[in-house]
């Protein structure tokens, strides 16, 4: 029986938890025997420095650990630069039954590490990790801001505090954005005690499409002291969130300024605005070398589209394709790509909107959006890797690519309607 080749003579496997980390150091002796030791450490900085010293006693060269939530980050920060680190997906390890104790987990990780059977997950540089912290926190604040605005008036079917509806204020029916300049002035005046509809409507900008009569009717309600208190609280919360978002925007601009060229280039993709470009760069990083390819063609999980969860699933058995569900991936970049895809569908005359119409008719809107997100991701990959600009193929790309088939399809439809069709090429002007 052929034995497996040992790639690393001295390695370690870490089973990471919130309060403790169980470490196994494993080395191959000159006699051919394997020696191993297991020890548990706390996750405080002092204890992790002891872990580093303990691993250094055997001159451990490679360390592997599971990507358990965010608990791996303190360990990574201490060990980084002292030895080769691998962050691995738990699904790639927990494939052998009967191995579920902390000690066995770390021993199993160390053994797989020694034989080179682990595939490292992508861990960006400290700079990119800081970008991610900023952009993800900014996204969370934006979600909170939307939730608070939704409490002011009912804009979704979800359950929540619909304050204006409860007070019989119908401002949102005549003003498209109650968080605009006019809406805020009226709401703040309501919170401060003003109840006269005429005085409130006079605070509206002259550019409002709503007539004074419509504003009077929408602002005539039954506003009680409780409503004023809640309205004041919610408006203060909105102001605070917007201040925090502004602070983060300024910080993100400063941190990502060295890569302004890449951001500006990504901003030219249909549906991708400056904020979307910053989020894409923060999640992908500026260096595309860590991704073997943009699309499938690599083993599942290696390609960028698979890592992002924007590629078709791979579930086949007995020659039958059972499911095409997209795999789990980076939820942050997936969110940015789907939002950008929806925005791209609104542009007339673009390739992405044409692709959406082609796919939505056959596969449905949601699948079409995922496909558009995949197209945006592949375009961003090549733009960052090769330093090229975005080139839109145009809304007639699909018609030109299938010119003969498109012509015959349209002729057949007209003939079925009772027309006789004769095609003649259009003379050049």
What letter does residue 36 receive in the DSSP assignment? Answer: E
pLDDT greater than 80 at residue 270:
yes
pLDDT greater than 80 at residue 372:
yes
Grouping H, G, I as helix, E, B as strand and the rest as coil, residue 82 is: coil
pLDDT at 259: 95
The helix (run of H) or strand (run of E) holding residue 20 is strand 20-28
pLDDT greater than 70 at residue 102:
no
Closest by Cα among 17, 95, 18, 23 to 52: 23
DSSP string for residues in 369-401? HHHHHHHHHHHHHHHHHH--------TTHHHHH
| CA-based torsion, 266, 268, 274, 280: positive or negative | negative
- Bigger pLDDT: 337 vs 32: 337
pLDDT greater than 60 at residue 283:
yes
Cα separation, 149 vs 211, in Å, equals: 24
Cα separation, 383 vs 71, in Å, equals: 34
pLDDT at 40: 94
pLDDT at 428: 62
What letter does residue 22 receive in the DSSP assignment? Answer: E
pLDDT greater than 60 at residue 159:
no
pLDDT at 324: 58
Helices (H), 285-330: 304-307
Is the distance from CB of 141 to CB of 244 less than 8 angstroms? yes
pLDDT at 136: 96
| CA-based torsion, 367, 373, 378, 379: positive or negative | positive
Q: What are phi and psi of 287, to 5 degrees?
A: -105, 120
Cα separation, 192 vs 417, in Å, equals: 66
pLDDT at 317: 47
pLDDT greater than 50 at residue 156:
no
Average pLDDT of the residues of the chain: 84
Q: pLDDT over 70 for what percent of the chain?
A: 89
First to last CA, the chain: 78
What is the mean pLDDT of the segment spanning 291-303? 62
Contacts 24+ apart (CB under 8 A), 259-265: 259/286, 262/286, 262/383, 262/384, 265/383, 265/384, 265/387, 265/389, 265/390
Global pTM exceeds 0.85 = no
What is the mean pLDDT of the segment spanning 56-85? 91
Which class for 129: exposed (0-12), middle (13-18), buried (19 or more C-beta within 10 A)? Answer: middle
Grouping H, G, I as helix, E, B as strand and the rest as coil, residue 63 is: strand
Name the band, by pLDDT with cuts 50, 70 and 90, for residue 302: low
pLDDT at 300: 45
Closest by Cα among 323, 302, 305, 303 to 314: 323
pLDDT greater than 60 at residue 263:
yes
Is the distance from CB of 58 to CB of 35 less than 8 angstroms? no
Which class for 299: exposed (0-12), middle (13-18), buried (19 or more C-beta within 10 A)? Answer: exposed
- Bigger pLDDT: 1 vs 170: 170
Name the band, by pLDDT with cuts 50, 70 and 90, for residue 322: low
Q: What is the pLDDT of residues 185-199, one digit of tens each?
A: 888 988 888 888 888
Is the distance from CB of 380 to CB of 390 less than 8 angstroms? no
pLDDT at 408: 85
What is the mean pLDDT of the segment spanning 378-402? 88
Cα separation, 157 vs 176, in Å, equals: 18
pLDDT at 7: 83
pLDDT at 142: 96
């Amino acid at each position: 029986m052929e034995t497996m080749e040992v790639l690393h003579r001295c390695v370690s496997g870490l089973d990471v938890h919130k309060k403790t980390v169980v470490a196994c150091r494993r080395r191959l002796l000159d006699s051919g025997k394997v020696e191993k030791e297991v020890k548990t450490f706390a996750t405080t900085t002092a204890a992790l420095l002891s872990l580093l010293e303990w691993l250094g006693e055997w001159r451990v060269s490679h360390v592997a650990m599971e990507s358990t939530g965010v608990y791996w980050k303190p360990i990574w920060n201490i060990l980084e630069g002292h030895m080769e680190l691998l962050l691995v997906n738990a699904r790639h390890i927990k494939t052998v039954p009967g191995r579920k104790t902390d000690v066995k987990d770390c021993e199993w990780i160390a053994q797989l590490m020694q034989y080179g059977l682990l595939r490292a997950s992508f861990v960006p540089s400290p700079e990119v990790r800081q970008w991610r912290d900023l952009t993800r926190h900014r996204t969370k604040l934006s979600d909170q801001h939307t939730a608070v605005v939704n409490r002011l008036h009912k804009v979704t079917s979800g359950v929540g505090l619909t304050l204006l509806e409860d007070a019989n204020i119908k401002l949102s029916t005549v003003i498209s954005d109650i968080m605009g300049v006019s809406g805020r002035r009226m709401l703040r005046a309501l919170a401060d005690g003003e109840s006269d509809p005429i005085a409130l409507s006079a605070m509206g900008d002259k550019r409002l499409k709503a007539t004074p009569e419509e504003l009077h009717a929408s602002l005539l309600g039954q506003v009680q002291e409780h409503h004023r208190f809640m309205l004041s609280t919610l408006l203060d919360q909105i102001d605070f969130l917007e201040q925090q978002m502004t602070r983060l925007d300024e910080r993100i601009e400063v941190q990502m300024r060295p890569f302004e060229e890449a951001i500006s280039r990504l901003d030219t993709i249909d549906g991708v605005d400056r904020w979307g470009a910053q989020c894409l760069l923060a999640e992908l990083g500026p260096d595309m070398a860590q991704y073997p390819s943009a699309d499938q063609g690599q083993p599942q999980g290696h390609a960028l589209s698979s890592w992002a969860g924007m590629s078709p699933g791979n579930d086949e058995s007995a020659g039958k394709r059972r499911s095409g569900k997209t795999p789990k991936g980076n939820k942050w970049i997936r969110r940015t790509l789907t939002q950008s895809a929806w925005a791209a569908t609104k542009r007339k005359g673009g390739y992405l909107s044409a692709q959406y119409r082609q796919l939505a008719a056959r596969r449905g809107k949601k699948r079409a959006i995922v496909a558009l997100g995949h197209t945006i991701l592949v375009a961003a990959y090549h733009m960052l890797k090769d330093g090229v600009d975005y080139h839109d193929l145009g809304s007639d790309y699909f018609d030109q690519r299938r010119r003969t088939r498109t012509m015959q399809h349209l002729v057949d439809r007209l003939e079925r309607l009772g027309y006789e069709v004769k095609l003649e090429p259009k003379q050049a002007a």
